[in-house]
Amino acid sequence: MIHVPARLRIVATLAALPDGDTLSFTRLQNMIGLTPGNLITHLRKLQDAGYLSTKKTGNGVASRTSVALSNRGRAALDTYTAALRDLLGGL
Amino acid sequence: MNEENDKDETPTVDERGEFDPRAAATLLAQTTRRAQRQFAFPSPLLSLIQAAALLAAYGAIWLSVRDQHPYSGPSGTALVELYGFVGVAAIAVGLDGRRARAGVSGRSSRQGWIRAIPFTAAYLAVYVLMGALRFDGFSTAIVYGIVPAVGPLIVLGAAAAGDAAAREDWQVLGFAIALIAVGAGSAFAGPSGVWGVAGVGLCALLVCSAIAKVWLRRA
């Protein structure tokens, strides 16, 4: 799930925030540099896997979507990082 | 996830190709470092701006009192310069905070406001103490020299040390203890010299802090 460049960047970016913080869709998009459609697709896949949660507030032009990494997402990134370290350590 | 109407869901194209583990590790490290830099508050640049502003603020007071025998306190012009430079530093803090926190909300934002309370109380207590010392008949050298120069450094350093220790933030804890040491040590320079020594010490500390942040980021 995380072993895809775009999703790895999304998860790593959200993991840099303190636990319990959320990031707006707009800033995440600015930081990652994906098109809105591509970002939505990746976020949905991560959300379906339980790695992140999204919350929408407001309506119309004032609406704001925020994204947060879940505990499961943090644990998945930790596991992934450890796996990469083991793999590269063995090369 | 439909923040704007023109954001259609499109199939992603980066799932087909090979993603080498070495490339993944590099991407992960780069992304983490970049994100930490963008969320970082205070930034190294802010520390450098604060260093310059506080050196100028303390320097303005030192220039106005260095030839006073006996000590009579800073001039009105020097006080205006002091608060002007402190204002510049405060504006820089606000702008840097907005940059780092743009789009971020949640627990740490709420905790930030709560964590500011002991710092504000400690800072205001210095001025109450000055009033009490004046009321009790202490000399101008103490009330308008030593206490206002070193008091804020010691009390803010102590508040920051407690806050950092609770969060196990060793970098900030080290900075806070050094701030207390600069404040307490510069008091030996006397009511005039304290402004110069504290200003230089504070500036050096903030420059070291900026260098340490950049170095730790690259490590």
Question: Which residues in chain A are contacts of B100 at CB distance < 8 A?
Answer: none
Mean pLDDT for B16-24 is 76
Residue B5's pLDDT is what? 40
- B34 inside 8 A of chain A by CB: yes
B134: its two tokens: 């004046």
Question: Which residues in chain B are contacts of A31 at CB distance < 8 A?
Answer: 34-35, 38
- Please report whether residue B38 resides in a domain: no
Mean pLDDT for A12-16 is 93
Residue B42 neighbours by CB distance under 10 Å: 18
Report yes or no: A55 and B2 within 8 Å, Cβ to Cβ.
Answer: no
- Please report whether residue B211 resides in a domain: yes
Domain count, chain B: 1
- B5 inside 8 A of chain A by CB: no
Q: For the sheet containing A21-24, what is the strand order?
A: A52-57, A64-69, A21-24, B104-106
Task: Report the SS3 class of residue B105.
Answer: strand
Question: Which residues in chain B are contacts of A40 at CB distance < 8 A?
Answer: 1-2, 7, 9
Residue B133's pLDDT is what? 95
pLDDT digits (tens, 9 = 90+) for B87-142: 998 999 999 988 988 889 888 878 888 888 999 999 999 999 999 999 999 999 99
Mean pLDDT for A10-31 is 91
- B14 inside 8 A of chain A by CB: yes
Residue A62's pLDDT is what? 74
Cα pseudo-dihedral B74, B79, B83, B89, rounded to 10: -50
Mean pLDDT for A21-34 is 91
| Residue A81, CA distances (Å) to A70, A75, A89, B5 in order | 17, 10, 12, 36
Mean pLDDT for A1-14 is 89
- ipTM entry: 0.86
Pairwise CB contact (< 8 Å): A37 & B21: no
Residue A24's pLDDT is what? 92
pTM passes above 0.90: no
- A3 inside 8 A of chain B by CB: yes
Closest residue in chain B to residue A81, using alpha carbons only: B25
Q: Most B CBs within 10 Å: which of A48, A67, A70, A84, as the mutation test of the B interface? A: A84
Residue A61's pLDDT is what? 73
Query: Within the 20-39 window of chain A, which residues sit less than 8 Å (CB to CB) from chain B?
Result: 20-28, 31, 35-39
Residue A42 neighbours by CB distance under 10 Å: 23
- Please report whether residue B39 resides in a domain: no
Question: Which residues in chain B are contacts of A74 at CB distance < 8 A?
Answer: none
Backbone angles phi, psi at A57, to 5 degrees: -125, 150
Backbone angles phi, psi at B106, to 5 degrees: 125, -155
Report yes or no: B139 and B169 within 8 Å, Cβ to Cβ.
Answer: no
pLDDT digits (tens, 9 = 90+) for B51-92: 999 999 999 999 999 988 889 889 899 999 988 998 998 999
User: Which of B1, B25, B27 shows the shortest C-beta gap to A65?
Assistant: B1
- B22 inside 8 A of chain A by CB: yes
- Please report whether residue B1 resides in a domain: no
Report yes or no: B110 and B143 within 8 Å, Cβ to Cβ.
Answer: no
Of residues B34 and B11, which shows the higher confidence score?
Answer: B34
A84: its two tokens: 């990469």
Q: What is the CB-side half-sphere exposure of residue B49 using CA atoms within 13 A? A: 17
pLDDT digits (tens, 9 = 90+) for B159-191: 999 999 998 989 899 999 999 999 999 999 999
Q: Most B CBs within 10 Å: which of A3, A9, A70, as the mutation test of the B interface? A: A9
Residue B23's pLDDT is what? 87
Question: Which residues in chain A are contacts of B2 at CB distance < 8 A?
Answer: 40, 56, 65
Pairwise CB contact (< 8 Å): B19 & A25: no
Mean pLDDT for A45-64 is 85
Residue ranges making up the domain that contains B172: 46-218
